[in-house]
Chains A and B, each alone.
Chain A
Amino acid sequence: MSEPKYKFLSTPRRPVEDRRFVAGRGKYVADLERPDMLHVAPLASHHAAAVINSIDGSKALAMPGVIDVITGDELAGAVQPLMNGLNTPNVRRFPLAVGRVRYAGEWVCAVVAESRAIAEDALENIIVDATPQPFVLDAEQALLDSSTPVHPEHGSNLLLDRKFVWGPVDEDFAAAAHSLSFSVTWGRNSTVPIETFGVIAEWNGWDQMLDIWASIQMPKYADQIARSLGLPGNAIRVHYDVDVGGSYGVKRGIKHSVLVGYVARKLGRAVRLIEDRLENMRAGDAHGPERKFDVAVAFDDDGTVRAMKMRALDNAGAYAGRAPFQLGKPISAIVGPYKINSVAYHALSVTTNKTVQEAVRGFGQAPTNYAIETAMDRVAEYLGMDRLALRQHNLIRADQFPYLIPSGSHYDSGDYHAVIDKVLAAADYPAMLAERDRLRADGMMAGIGIAACLEPSGGNSSFEPLLNESNKTSTWMESCQVNVDALGCVTARIHTTSSGQGHETLVSTILGEVLQINPELIRITRPNSLESLPGNSPVGSRMAIMLGGAAARAGEKLKAKIMAIAAHHLAVDVDQLRYESGDVIAPDGRSLVWDDMIELAHRQYHSLPDGMDPGLASFDIMQVPTGEALPADGKVQMYPCYAFEFHLVLVSFDPIIGRPDIHSYFIGHDCGTVINPAIVSGMTYGGIAHGIGAALFEEFAYDANGQLLTQSFLDYLMPSSHEVPAINIVKHCTPSPHTVFGQKGSGESGYLGSPAAVSGAINDAVAGLGIHFEKLPIRMSAISDAIAAKSS
């Protein structure tokens, strides 16, 4: 029997964070008390669009306990507009509406009071005189010249209009035997964490320091706030030791933070804004993509898909932010796991009078995967070919890696066919087909959904320079710091908040593996932003690769120092030494144990090699692997690693009731080397649940007046324990050549393919009726109505 490859990695180990959470001892932002803290409540716009004529806060200000009423005009005179990813300088955004409101729910002004309840009382006494304006909600409408610009200064609603052609698209279409086209729409949904966004800011005039505690998952958060507030970067101290109650992309909160930062500085007090659920839903600016795809594919009789044309139109909501970049990230896997030779991609983003779009799990990849997988199903249907066989025919083969896709990224590694074979075996696919047929014979509608897709991981921001040529960012680093104290105990520092990803477990496991010491003995701390090395936070499915990579490299540096000290002390060449569980052993059997090394490093400077610094500490600032170059010719190597997932799901429903019941759910998952199995499985299960929500239940829906219909959890429906089935994960491991242990990302797993799979299953169930559901979510009412329309 061979030795296990790793001592701690990939072994079942309890995540270290769990202890405090099961005891209710997590430290979330709303749990923090500061002396004399004030509370902010924003006033929500009733109008989808209106010019603000006046705001009279005098009556509110006269109420006991009310400290201040802040308006957009005041703020605009004091802070810089929030960062905008594109070159659209006239799409300016402040935390509060300035001059006009652009969506229902937008913050018109804010009350600062001694308690949240008093602040809400005061909101009812603010008199806003506003004149309603024309508005636009639909993205195609917003594209028309005749549409009302959400930002009149900008002149139109167009934020982004980029056409890419990668490879001989026209030639491939001309040469292919067949082509077809279709449209699908990904409904506006989001991850909707159970913790809303919250932030506390506290200004200390004597130190000239703004302390911030926030439930953030945001790259360059401190920088953005400092810029907007006009403060030096080192006058903002963001505390990373705040637990974040879920994010999956959306916990950005820049507008909230700039607002309370401004108020804290103005009043010299601690100020907090914890969104309530209504604020979170309508104006947290955390809605995900709402995207319409027009897709055409060219293919041959044998099912070979040669080329694809995709137009993706995103409804960004009322302001720009980073939302348009969610059309850029999918370029990194624009052909999915398939050998599609050429692609034309037209990315469009428009403003509308809806809530602002923010980053959501996958940063636009899940909608694009849904469109690609729908294309695969449609081609199979057109050719009368088995959907599975069609995919297997088009998948990139294991011997083709690294595989260069038309848009410029190399896929690092994979064995897609092997994963699929494993899933088919685990699911007993013939039995699943038989079960589908049995359900159909019983009068049910039943279908099998299939989805194969990729999780680009290791996040950099190459989509920024790709979509905005004035942006020259290629750096996208992550850092880790390790110290061994004078008693020999190891402490590592990570420079970010976490929202459930288990980063403490990640780093302690990896350091334990590198240093061969029990990870449970390694303590992880989170310093504030001023004490931190540079990083980019847990986005883009990057932390196993980047934080894990930085931790491993810092650990290796530490180990190298230990070896150098030992070599000097034992007078042996370093190459001849062996490192074993913290001890260093010479070929002749002499050894130094861990405590000896600590003694030497911490107390016996005279015994260290000449010129070596005392102590045992190291750090590493790591750049994203493969992220070396700026885009050229509309192509770029985007993320370094590509995890693969394959979904197989059996769904049935009563033709009259239309309520989909998921009978069995299998996912094959290959994210390379797994650091902690329970964490990876958990994220995959959670991603699938989130995708089931996107496919069947969740939507930020607006009425014709621009009012959000799903502002509460009574109408925005998230899957409960009854709607998420038992899920079977079939594991496979193809290590990445680009990472320290071969790991790839897994933070978006499950979500990237489950909406496509569930949609595919429902469409399979109704295929015999000639029905295609072309919009997510697919509500039970729509299913029943469509079937009724066919049968009448």
Chain B
Amino acid sequence: MKPVRFDYKRPATIDEACGLLVSDDNARILAGGQSLIPMLSMRLSRPSLLVDIAHIPELTSLVETETHIEIGAMVRQANARASAMVKVHLPLLFKALAFVGHPPTRARGTIGGSIAHADPSAEIALVAATLGAEIVYRVGGADEIFDASSFFIGPMLTLAPPAGCLTKLCFTKAPAICGTGFHEVAPRKSDYALASAAAQINAEVGLGVTGIYLGVGSVGDFPEPLDVDGLIGTSLDDAVIGDVVHAAMEAVETVEDLHASAAYRKRVATELAIRALRDARDEISKDLNQ
């Protein structure tokens, strides 16, 4: 199980990396390698050139602005999970990161790599799609920004521009009152999930709930944000949540494989979505009732 022959380059800047991608149609970016290298070893991926972006300083930064947290594409999953910035301002991502692989893959795997790889069961992609994070690519010397809620279009398929280099992921900071829930189910704890769900409820004192975000992953070809705006202004009791989630899940197409039937995926994603929303609600109920 050895990869095909390829060249290897280690650019120092994003623009140098982009230049390399332009120079070779069959070039691929190597980030953390935790998904790419198995595909290389099985010869499912056969690049002629690997562009290792690990040595581009600006890709490894985690930046807090007034409104956003910007996570460089090369930030390791373990570092993101250990970051106080992520814990405080991106509580949903913080929760989800605990489900990504296991310690050795989180040590190498990157935030950007997971987004670019676009596995339908990827937790980071689910959170990004659910919250509508901005995905920033550098292409042709300019930045191109994608809305994560529509970026994923199929298994391992995205709207990523050819010869583009993913540079960062920008999340809106969670408000002071924010509840989150993340659930996933897999045969074994660290397996690809059979179903997953992420939920976040934003609220403000006096205004009550201002935004509700829900997404399900692993059930279809890509992570799917669900429209649950109908919950805003409701009691958010279990019955209401159940009704809205069931309705929202109706249109979700689920896939079948050896490990789970399509019906299972739909049933369990629905249940997990309900549980995630309940968790989120329960987290803020105290703040709202004050």
Question: Do A and B share a direct contact in the complex (Cβ within 8 angstroms)?
Answer: yes
Question: What's the dominant secondary structure at chain A's contact region?
Answer: loop
What is the CB-to-nearest-CB distance from B155 to chain A, in angstroms, rounded to a whole number? 14
Of B21-29, B158-166, B189-197, the one contacting chain A is B189-197
Query: Chain A: interface residue count, which band?
Result: 20 to 34
B268 within 8 A of A: yes
By a CB distance below 8 angstroms, the chain A residues around B192 are 714
State in angstroms the CA–CA spacing of A780 and B258 once bound together. 11
Q: How far is the CB of A198 from chain B (nearest CB, A)?
A: 14
Name which residue of chain A comes closest to B4, CB basis: A121
Within 8 A of B (CB), among A457-489: none
Among the listed A120, A277, A697, A722, which residue makes an inter-chain contact with B2, where contact means beta carbons less than 8 Å apart? A120
Contact B258 A788 (CB under 8 A): no
- CB nearest neighbor in B for A118: B2
B188 an interface residue at 8 Å Cβ cutoff?
yes
Assuming the contacts A709-B258, A720-B190, A781-B194, asked whether A278 and B263 have C-beta atoms less than 8 A apart, the reply is no
Within 8 A of B (CB), among A773-788: 779-781, 784-785, 788
Interface size of B by Cβ–Cβ distance < 8 Å?
Answer: 24
Q: Is B267 an interface residue (CB 8 A)?
A: yes
Q: Do residues A784 and B4 form an inter-chain contact, with CB atoms below 8 A? A: no
Is B42 interfacial (CB-CB < 8 Å)?
yes
Contact A717:B42 (CB < 8 A) given known A779-B259, A788-B267: no
A209 at the interface (CB under 8 A from B): no
Tell yes or no: B251 within 8 A of A by CB: no
Q: State how many angstroms separate the Cβ of B114 from the closest Cβ of chain A.
A: 16
Tell me the smallest distance from the CB of A40 to a CB of chain B, in Å. Answer: 13
Given contacts A656-B267, A781-B194, contact A278 B258 (CB under 8 A): no
Which chain B positions have C-beta within 8 A of A444? Answer: none
Interface residues of B in 235-263 (CB under 8 A from A): 258-261, 263
**Judging by beta carbons under 8 Å apart, are A717 and B261 in contact?**
no
Find out whether the CB atom of A719 lies under 8 angstroms from the CB atom of B258.
Answer: no
The residues of B that contact A697 with a CB separation of less than 8 Å are 187-188
* Closest Cβ neighbor of B2 among chain A residues: A117
Report yes or no: B5 in contact with A121, Cβ–Cβ below 8 A: yes
CB distance from B158 to the nearest CB of A (A): 21
Most chain B CB within 10 A, of A657, A658, A785, is at A657
Tell me how far the C-beta of A289 lies from the nearest C-beta in chain B, rounded to whole angstroms.
Answer: 20
Contact call A659/B187, Cβ cutoff below 8 A = yes
Contacts of B1 in A (CB 8 A): 120, 276-278
Q: Which single member of A116, A720, A781 contacts B259 (CB below 8 Å)?
A: A781
Whether B191 pairs with A656 at a CB distance below 8 angstroms is no
CB of B264 within 8 Å of the partner chain: yes
Asked whether A715 is an interface residue with its Cβ less than 8 Å from the other chain, the reply is: yes
Report if B185 contacts A (CB, 8 A). Answer: yes
**Bound: A623/B230 CA distance, A:** 79
B52-78: CB near A (< 8 Å → 1, else 0) gives: 000000000000000000000000000
Assuming the A-B contacts A120-B2, A710-B258, A781-B261, are A656 and B188 also in contact, with contact meaning beta carbons closer than 8 angstroms in the complex? no
Tell me the complex Cα distance, A784–B272, Å: 14
Q: Mark A659-696, 1 if CB is under 8 A from B, else 0.
A: 10000000000000000000000000000000000001
In the complex, A231 has a CB within 8 A of chain B: no
Closest to A276 in B: B1
* B147 touches A (CB below 8 Å): no
Does A381 sit within 8 A of B, measured CB to CB? no
The CA-CA distance from A56 to B3 in the complex, in Å, is 23
Q: Does B15 contact A (CB under 8 A)?
A: no
Which one of B185, B190, B258, B267 contacts A715 once the chains associate, using CB atoms below 8 Å? Answer: B258
Give Cα A761–Cα B5 distance, bound, in whole angstroms: 51
Please report which residues of chain B, range 191-239, place their CB below 8 angstroms from some CB of chain A when the two chains form the complex. Answer: 191-192, 194
Docked Cα-Cα span, A715 to B192, in Å, equals: 10
- Mark B1-22 against chain A: 1 for CB-CB distance below 8 A, else 0: 1111100000000000000000
Against A, the Cβ 8 Å flags (1 = close, 0 = not) of B254-290 are: 0000111101100110010000000000000000000
Q: Is the interface of B mostly helix, strand, loop or mixed?
A: loop
A723 within 8 A of B: yes
Q: Is the CB of B267 within 8 A of A784?
A: yes
- Whether A779 contacts B268 by the Cβ 8 Å rule is no
Give Cα A712–Cα B190 distance, bound, in whole angstroms: 15
| CA–CA, A656 and B183, complex, Å | 14
Complex interface: chain A residues within 8 A of B261 (CB): 781, 785
What is the CA–CA distance of A717 and B191 in the complex, to the nearest angstrom? 9
Question: Is A722 a contact partner of B188 (Cβ separation < 8 A)?
Answer: yes
Check if B188 sits within 8 Å of A657, measured CB to CB: no
Query: CA of A722 to CA of B191 in the docked complex: distance in angstroms?
Result: 11
Contacts of A710 in B (CB 8 A): 258
B188 touches A720 (CB 8 A): yes
Proximity string of chain A (101-140) to chain B, C-beta cutoff 8 Å, 1 when within and 0 when not: 0000000000000001100110000000000000000000
Q: Is the C-beta of A16 less than 8 angstroms from some C-beta in chain B?
A: no
Q: Which residues of B contact A780 (CB under 8 A)?
A: 185, 187, 194, 260, 264
A701 at the interface (CB under 8 A from B): yes
CA of A719 to CA of B3, assembled, Å:
28
Nearest B residue to A656, CB-CB: B271
Which residues of the other chain, B, contact A701 by a CB distance below 8 angstroms?
258
Which of B189, B263, B267 is the most central at the interface, judged by chain A CB atoms within 10 Å of its CB? B267
What is the CA–CA distance of A659 and B194 in the complex, to the nearest angstrom? 11
**CB proximity of A705 to chain B, nearest CB, Å:** 14
Enumerate chain A residues within 8 angstroms of B194, measured Cβ to Cβ.
Answer: 780-781
Residue of B nearest to A117 (CB): B2
Give which listed residue, B3, B189, B271, contacts A657 with CB less than 8 A.
B271
> Shortest CB–CB separation between residue A766 and chain B, in angstroms?
16
Beyond A657-B271, A701-B258, A784-B268, whether A717 also contacts B263 by CB under 8 A is: no
- Closest CB of chain A to B5's CB: distance in Å? 7
Bound CA–CA A714/B191 (angstroms): 8
**Which listed residue, A658, A712, A723, touches B188 by the CB 8 Å rule?**
A723
Question: In the complex, are the beta carbons of A657 and B185 less than 8 A apart?
Answer: yes
Residue numbers in A under 8 Å from B190 (CB-CB): 720, 722
Residues of A within 8 A of B189 (CB): 720, 722-723
Q: Are B2's CB and A116's CB within 8 A? A: yes
Say how far A573's CB is from chain B's closest CB, in angstroms.
Answer: 67
Shortest B262–chain A CB gap in Å is 10
Bound together, the chains give a CA A116 to CA B185 distance in angstroms of 38
Q: Identify which of residues 241-290 in chain A touch chain B, using a CB-to-CB cut-off of 8 Å.
A: 276-278
Residues of B within 8 A of A696 (CB): 187
In the complex, what distance in Å separates the CA atom of A709 from the CA atom of B2?
21
Contact of A717 among B4, B43, B188 (CB under 8 A): B188
- Provide the residues of chain A in CB contact with B259, threshold 8 Å: 715, 717, 779, 781
Q: How far is the CA of A701 from the CA of B4 in the complex (A)?
A: 28
**CB pair B188 A784 closer than 8 Å:** no
Complex Cα gap A279–B259 (Å): 22
A116 to B189, CA, bound (A): 34
Provide the bound-state CA to CA distance between A709 and B258, in Å. 8
**Distance between Cα atoms of A769 and B271 in the complex (Å):** 21
Q: Which residue of B lies closest to A119 (CB)?
A: B2
> Is B188 touching A779 in the complex (CB atoms < 8 A)?
no
CA distance in complex: A276, B42 (Å): 10
Give, as a whole number of angstroms, the nearest-CB distance from B270 to chain A. 9
Residue ID in chain B nearest A277 by CB atoms: B1
Tell me whether A779 and B260 are in contact (CB under 8 A): yes
Among A120, A714, A720, A781, which residue has its beta carbon within 8 angstroms of that of B264? A781
CA distance A278 to B263 in the complex (A): 30
CA distance A697 to B189 in the complex (A): 12
**Cα–Cα, bound, A156→B99 (Å):** 51
Separation of A109 and B109 alpha carbons in the complex (Å)? 38
Please give, as numbers and ranges, the residues of chain A lying within 8 Å of B5 by CB-CB distance.
121
Q: Which single residue of chain B is at the shortest CB-CB distance from A654?
A: B271
Q: Are A719 and B188 in contact (CB under 8 A)?
A: yes
What are 6 sample pairs from A and B whose C-beta atoms fall under 8 A apart? Answer: A657-B271, A696-B187, A715-B258, A723-B189, A780-B264, A784-B267
New A-B pairs, 19, CB < 8 Å, besides A712-B42, A781-B261: A117-B2, A120-B1, A276-B1, A277-B1, A278-B1, A656-B268, A657-B271, A658-B264, A710-B258, A715-B258, A717-B187, A720-B188, A720-B190, A722-B188, A723-B188, A723-B189, A780-B187, A781-B264, A785-B263
Give me the 5 closest cross-chain CB pairs, A-B, nearest first.
A781-B260, A276-B1, A117-B2, A781-B264, A722-B189
